[in-house]
Structure 1
Amino acid sequence: MITKEKAKDKEKDVCCSGNQEETAETGCCSGKKEEVSEGTSCCSNEEASSAGTPAPSSEKGETREFYIRGMDCPSCAATVEKSLNKNPGIRAATVSYGTGKLAVGAYEPAVYKTIPDDVKKLGFEAVPARQDHGYETYRIAGMDCGSCAMTIEKHMGRLSSVEDVRVNFSTGNMQVLHGLTQEQILKEVKKSGFEAYPESVPEEETPAWKKGSFVTVISGVFLALGFIGSFTGVPAILVTLMYAISIATGGFKPVKSAYYAVRSKSLDMNVLMASAAIGAAIIGEWFEGAMVVFLFAVGNLLQDRSMEKTRDSIRSLMDLTPAKALVKTENGLEEKNVGDVGVGEVLVVRPGDKIPIDGKVISGTTSINEAPITGESIPSDKDIGDVVYAGTLNGHGALEIRVSTLSEDTAIAKIIHMVEEAQEKKAPTEALIDRFAAVYTPVVFILALLVMVVPPLTGFGTWGEWVYKGLALLVVACPCALVISTPVAIVSAIGNAAKQGVLIKGGTYLEKAAAVKSIAFDKTGTLTEGKPKVAKTVVFSGNEEELISQAATIESQSSHPIAEAILTYAKGKGITLQEGEDFQTMAGQGAKGVIEGREVFVGKPKLFEDMQIDFRNVQDEISRLQEEGNTLVLVGTRESISGVIAVRDTIREVTVRAIERLKKNGMKDMVMLTGDNEGTAVNIAGEAGVTRHFAELMPEDKVTAIQKLQNEGKQVAMVGDGINDAPALATADLGIAMGGAGTDTAMETADIVLMADNLEKLPETISLSKKALNIIKQNIWFSLLTKAAALILIFPGILTLWMAVLSDTGAALIVILNSMRLLRNK
């Protein structure tokens, strides 16, 4: 598997451990050095370098992997590696700069928990790589912002039986490596004030929000009774009691969560709101306290429901594949769970059914709607030998499919896995906001305490007045809207893109796509079909049918792409082949054979030049065809040339439309990279509509071309097929691979993957990323201005306590709803 590397380190080898066998998927080799692809090789343990360090042997225990962020050269990798290996608890630690991964083997499981802190001291960040073995995933209900996720993480992390825990607010998931029972995990999460559900439990069976709705309604009823009672002569003690019940019912969960947050040394919104409500009650502002609790509960419910809709953008992908498959056995058809179907088994898929697992068609023809994978709405015709994907919809024909992968390894499963990982990666803007919030909250919290104490002590106003203002400041100290301004937008955009057939591997790349000023396209297979076709024939003697028949007869013995193009052309024209004999391939020149007793040659112009055949009378025609970008195949005998067949790679139908739409989106600089000659490059560039081109490039020259564009001060995206363009994809600021549905390498190599094998989705992806960035900016500015206004209005006494809560929860809800617009982006 080709791993994305930085350009400065592209010459480094990516190595595999010595006991690995070479496979088609990994390209790794055992005990010997062997070329994998351009600029990449693999080697044995003894040959490993810091660029591709083998994982420590797991013979003495398990090995765990971490992603290391912040390394910008191989010496950084060496620094981390040397430092960790000094730790007596670590058996072996190796860092690969090329892959950005740290592999650690420790003597005790507890050591793994210290790795992130140890690496942080060195100036880098270590994030546990997602490992399926040992980890369990739970859905968390009731999280309102990123600080809630932090509270759960800290609480669970304090448990001795929990080795690693990661909670992601955006996806609503918790991944935990532990030695507890499932019941214990659920109980511990509940202690934090939240509800956890195993991933296997269906959505409809997780009714935490319904319980929250009931409690909120009860709180609201007692608040209303108290408010009405205050105007109808009800004794004050009863009114206060109503408000107290309202606070107790609606505030029980926030207070409980606040308790565990304080124990975990986390200052989240539950702490701030609980403090404000209790403080209001202490100073006799029972109505204000009850209103704080009620508005906070209502805001949380609305945020929860809105966030669930956002998270459903990915969960809906999981529902694409059927749970059962119809398997052909010796005893007839048998219905099996998809997870129980093995590789090599034969499935029967009826018309109108979804395909349950990836495989190859062995019987039947049909058209299949592949929109869930590629985003293309036009059905794709399928015949025997064609690959079909899980989750796609069979059309009119019954099929028999031989299973090629297990259910967990299907294309749709990989897409879901990668999108979930992408949503859990923080974008630069999100990380910046988190750092700001980490400073803002404690600063305002301390300011609130000073406001409560200092003015009354110095004789400025009463205690009740300043404590009230301090409580309002506590509410304003919660940066909820600001913290969720970025992740909700990113989750929405990535989820929407995935449903449209575009895989964006993280918020970082979403932001980069919006900043791209120049796009470089590989020509073959990206702008063009990648398959040569006969573009024109010129006959000098005889007729076209005879010319094509002779050429096709000779080329029928070859598997060369140009030979296949001529045979396809002959078949399309209904031209039959002739009887021939004594066929012979002339390496690098062409081929020959005997037809009707005459020796016929098919090949390059140089072949006929070497035979000293005079074709000066047709040289002008040959030169003109070459200047148009054609590859020429001459047909003739030892005496004369019968004609010329012009073959060329053709522009994809969607390429011109895609380029035009990119121009309308404001993309001014679009560059074509090709190994073809200048004449061919000029013609293809003109047809495609790109603004400029680089011709006659070797694969390594494409890297130089990308660097040249970057030296012009532009953010550059490279679009290729993810295999032979890997060095250029890695060098570019943003790597975009096409055809991810058909190749694992494309999905692994690039930052953004267009699952369909064409550029149709590229303009929409750039447009979506720009819209996402605009929404993030809107959210951030709205959140900051709301907080600034609240802070200013507190001191003149204009902003009441309940208004402060309303501004906080209202701002958070508006930010979420604004971000959700990205879900509807087409």
Structure 2
Amino acid sequence: MDDNRNVYRLQGLSCTNCAAKFEKNIRTIATVEDVQLNFGAAKLTVQGAVTIDQLEEAGAFDGIKVFPERQRQVEQKQSFWKKRQNITALVALFLTVVGYVTNFQLGDNHPVAIGFFIAAILIGGYDLFKVGIANITKLQFDMKTLMTIAIIGAAIIGEWAEGAVVVFLFAVSEALESYSIDKARQSIRSLMNIAPKRATIRRGNEIVEMDVEDVQIGDVLFIRPGQKIALDGEVVIGQSSINQAAITGESIPVHKQPGDEVYAGTLNEEGSLEVRVTKRVEDTTIAKIIHLVEEAQAERAPTQQFVDKFAKYYTPAIMAIAFLIAVFPPLFFGASWEEWIYSGLAVLVVGCPCALVVSTPVAIVTAIGNAARNGVLIKGGIHLEEAGQLHAIAFDKTGTLTEGKPVVTEIVSLSAKGEQEVLGIARAIEEYSQHPLASAIIREAIRLNAPVYQAEDFTSITGKGAKAVVESTDYFIGSPALFEEMQLLPVEVKNTVSQLQAEGKTVILLGTKFELKALIAVADQVRKTSKRIIEKLQQLGIKQTVMLTGDNQLTATAIGQQLGLTETMADLLPADKLAAIKTLKMRYGNVAMIGDGVNDAPALATANVGIAMGGAGTDAALETADIALMADDLEKLPYMISLSRKTLSIIKQNISFALLLKIVALLLVIPGWLTLWLAIIADMGATLLVVLNSLRLIKKNESGI
């Protein structure tokens, strides 16, 4: 990290307007070169020399507290009823009620009643006026400025009771909005608390407990049953079941043994383990997830960009309308100044763009946090929105729809050589090959204890196979096309090959220059969950499910039919997969590509949404994909699409609520029914409605599909 760049956590950051003002105040500090404020994550990045006191002074208007990112802070839980601003709101309510009772007993606008209303306004609105009046002097027009103008205006025209009610309602709505946004931020806090802050280290015969920040790579963690793993590492001693739900979303524990990788924040269920640390605390998988989730929440989604731009012009327009309503009827039609100034003030209150501005970010923040807790890493609002609009999904075959570990299913000897001898010769040649099918033959030869031969003069025949000398004989191994070129493929063998390929198997032939010796069928096993997941996607309305594979068309067709896919595209090189994605986009619009995040990178990048599988195991998947399914399984794909659609639906509802309530309230000006307290209920009601509606996404899970 740059020596001059510091990251801080914030407490008390209550609204988007406050965040913008806080950022602006920091920019005025002479030593600050650049500043980035992430409202969703309550996180601040400052480039330049600056003290915490200077930062807290910049946020003093909103009581913002600043902490260095690495400082372990104990969050002070304060009762809702003990917060100063909530106590003053209750005092304001009490004084307002007493004012109304006094008015009722002593008559309207009695001096004693007015005294109670003034006390309610000053006590309940002190913080509001302090910021609002400062903003007026600087010509900064935000929510608090408009409220201050409205309350002062109400006082000038003698509407003391209305002013007191507005102050109380504003205080209540601010408290509820702050509480709701804090609930949305809880998704990140819960991620931060997944991994333990202390680790037990075995050093020689001694067991030492220390802060995770002090643990070094190579140290050995000692993990007892029921304990969480503190850092990423590799099991060196012991076996156990590890609950990885916090990272991958998998509900079933995974068996781990020496050599297996384990992640910080996962739960050791049964046996004791000793784990060699492979990553420092800031580089663990959970640390990367938290960082990427925070970056995702800071990135503005397309809908949010549109709303922000709209709000920029909307606020001045509302102020102009309020001014015209206040002066136009009295000036040109002799109407009552008091009545129309009051209506203008009400329009000013109801027109605040608060609900509109928070309609999108709270939904995005909540959804991305929810997804991260369920083992799906969505790297920005734009990808969340795109995933909610998918019409087609393209799957890489190997390792995505299939296990990615091909196995030998048949060995057909076409000569006097037995199965074991055939496997021994094939293994000797394939030892030099990097092809996945070669590993299947080697594994089968070891399993059946086939004789071990040595191959010499190995030569690869590009795209078709290989040749080598084994036991003083030239052997060829490869595809049927290789032996067809050598004119060694009789009709009966060709028919057997076609039959096996139609069953979804890949056929490898072994022979010499003069005759075929054997036929080996290899198949990549289809994942047990693949068919069910394809069905779920089709139930969600994804009508086009396409498999892209480098395998032959017969094998691809067999697997496609077995899984119920709508289309299979076979014999594809990486460049062909890229072209296939472009074709699918032209035909169907929004297309997702799902692969392992390492291979097929061009196709993943070209798709509207690139989805990587097994993000927890590969850094490349976390870095390259738009969305990473942390488990090496498609189980979370229907949930992710359902969540994206739900989020889009909630954003549309929020924008509709915000605009509709304001339009209805503004129409009440015509018959003169819009009062100040009704205006604030409409404005704050809309804000709370969109925030609470967005928080429904906290509960979204797989059962909600």
Aligned match of 1:658: 533
- 1:444, CA displacement in angstroms? 1.1
Contact persistence 2:8–2:44 (CA under 8 A): yes
Contact persistence 1:554–1:593 (CA under 8 A): no
Give distance in 2, aligned partners of 1:132 and 1:818: 42
Contact persistence 1:517–1:716 (CA under 8 A): yes
Contact persistence 1:150–1:266 (CA under 8 A): no
1:25-59 deviations in Å (ceiling 9; x for gaps): xxxxxxxxxxxxxxxxxxxxxxxxxxxxxxxxxxx
Letter of the 2:24 partner, please give it: K
Alignment of 1:70-149 (within 5 A): 134-141=5-12, 143-144=14-15, 146-149=16-19
Give distance in 1, aligned partners of 2:424 and 2:239: 29
Contact persistence 1:553–1:577 (CA under 8 A): no
- 1:461, CA displacement in angstroms? 2.3
Contact persistence 1:548–1:566 (CA under 8 A): no
Distance 1:554 1:750, change over 3 A: closer
Distance 1:364 1:657, change over 3 A: same
Distance 1:717 1:619, change over 3 A: closer
Alignment of 1:558-637 (within 5 A): 558=431, 560=433, 561-569=436-444, 575-578=448-451, 580-584=452-456, 586-587=458-459, 588-589=465-466, 603-604=477-478, 618-634=493-509
1:129-186 deviations in Å (ceiling 9; x for gaps): x979612323141523x22222222222223233323334333333333433212321
Distance 1:251 1:168, change over 3 A: farther
Letter of the 1:224 partner, please give it: V
Aligned match of 1:186: 56
Which has the higher mean CA deviation after the structures are superposed, 454-463 or 476-485? 454-463
Alignment of 1:44-63 (within 5 A): none
Letter of the 2:14 partner, please give it: M
- For 2:27, which of 115, 134, 157 is the aligned residue? 157
1:675 aligns with 2:547: no
- For 1:825, which of 690, 695, 700 is the aligned residue? 700
Distance 1:265 1:522, change over 3 A: farther
Which SS does the other structure have where 1:650 is aligned?
strand
Give distance in 2, aligned partners of 1:714 and 1:134: 42
State TM-score, norm by structure 1.
0.78
Letter of the 1:289 partner, please give it: G
Q: Alignment identity in percent?
A: 46
Contact persistence 1:366–1:399 (CA under 8 A): yes
Alignment of 1:424-443 (within 5 A): 424-443=298-317
- 1:488, CA displacement in angstroms? 0.9
Alignment of 1:503-522 (within 5 A): 503-522=377-396
In structure 2, stretches of 5+ residues that fail to align are: 460-464
- 1:795, CA displacement in angstroms? 3.4
Letter of the 1:241 partner, please give it: G
- 1:815, CA displacement in angstroms? 0.7
- For 2:93, which of 212, 220, 229 is the aligned residue? 220
Give distance in 2, aligned partners of 1:379 and 1:359: 17
Aligned match of 1:493: 367
Contact persistence 2:14–2:181 (CA under 8 A): no
Give distance in 2, aligned partners of 1:582 and 1:537: 21
Give distance in 2, aligned partners of 1:150 and 1:222: 34
Contact persistence 1:549–1:570 (CA under 8 A): no
Aligned match of 2:462: none
1:745 aligns with 2:614: no
State TM-score, norm by structure 2.
0.91
Aligned match of 2:244: 370
Letter of the 1:527 partner, please give it: L
Contact persistence 1:151–1:268 (CA under 8 A): no
1:257 aligns with 2:127: no
Contact persistence 2:393–2:591 (CA under 8 A): yes
- For 1:812, which of 687, 691, 699 is the aligned residue? 687
Aligned match of 1:79: none
Which has the higher mean CA deviation after the structures are superposed, 180-189 or 748-757? 180-189
Give distance in 1, aligned partners of 2:295 and 2:275: 31
Give distance in 2, aligned partners of 1:142 and 1:294: 21
Which has the higher mean CA deviation after the structures are superposed, 816-825 or 637-646? 637-646
Contact persistence 1:419–1:498 (CA under 8 A): yes
Distance 1:796 1:168, change over 3 A: farther
1:657-694 deviations in Å (ceiling 9; x for gaps): 21111111101112111112222221222223221122
Give distance in 1, aligned partners of 2:632 and 2:293: 19
Aligned match of 2:190: 316
Give distance in 1, aligned partners of 2:531 and 2:663: 49
- 1:608, CA displacement in angstroms? 7.5
- 1:244, CA displacement in angstroms? 1.3
1:82-129 deviations in Å (ceiling 9; x for gaps): xxxxxxxxxxxxxxxxxxxxxxxxxxxxxxxxxxxxxxxxxxxxxxxx
Aligned match of 1:283: 157
Which SS does the other structure have where 1:742 is aligned?
coil
Distance 1:641 1:793, change over 3 A: same
Distance 1:718 1:617, change over 3 A: closer
- 1:515, CA displacement in angstroms? 1.5
Contact persistence 1:193–1:254 (CA under 8 A): no
After superposition, the CA RMSD in angstroms is 2.8
Which has the higher mean CA deviation after the structures are superposed, 210-219 or 332-341? 210-219
1:800-819 deviations in Å (ceiling 9; x for gaps): 11111111111111111111
Which has the higher mean CA deviation after the structures are superposed, 607-616 or 699-708? 607-616
Distance 1:643 1:419, change over 3 A: same
Give distance in 1, aligned partners of 2:588 and 2:474: 56
Contact persistence 2:229–2:265 (CA under 8 A): yes
- 1:711, CA displacement in angstroms? 2.3
Contact persistence 2:391–2:588 (CA under 8 A): no
- 1:760, CA displacement in angstroms? 1.4
Give distance in 2, aligned partners of 1:656 and 1:685: 10
1:407 aligns with 2:281: yes
Which SS does the other structure have where 2:104 is aligned?
coil
Alignment of 1:537-556 (within 5 A): 537-538=411-412, 547-548=419-420, 551=423, 555=427
Aligned match of 1:800: 675
Letter of the 2:6 partner, please give it: Y
Aligned match of 2:120: 246
- 1:207, CA displacement in angstroms? 4.5
Alignment of 1:397-476 (within 5 A): 397-458=271-332, 460-476=334-350
Give distance in 1, aligned partners of 2:303 and 2:49: 36
Give distance in 2, aligned partners of 1:265 and 1:703: 53
Greater RCO, CA 8 A, separation 6+: 2
Aligned match of 1:204: 75
Contact persistence 1:584–1:592 (CA under 8 A): yes
- 1:540, CA displacement in angstroms? 6.2
Which SS does the other structure have where 1:717 is aligned?
strand
Aligned match of 1:704: 579
Contact persistence 1:151–1:264 (CA under 8 A): no
1:724-745 deviations in Å (ceiling 9; x for gaps): 2111112112211112111122
Which SS does the other structure have where 1:377 is aligned?
coil
Aligned match of 1:170: 40
Which SS does the other structure have where 1:760 is aligned?
coil
- 1:297, CA displacement in angstroms? 0.5
Aligned match of 1:71: none
- 1:313, CA displacement in angstroms? 0.9
In structure 1, stretches of 5+ residues that fail to align are: 1-129
- 1:502, CA displacement in angstroms? 0.9
Contact persistence 2:351–2:683 (CA under 8 A): no
Distance 1:241 1:276, change over 3 A: same
Letter of the 2:466 partner, please give it: Q
- 1:334, CA displacement in angstroms? 1.0
- 1:602, CA displacement in angstroms? 8.4
1:302-358 deviations in Å (ceiling 9; x for gaps): 111111111101110000000011112135111111011111111111111111111
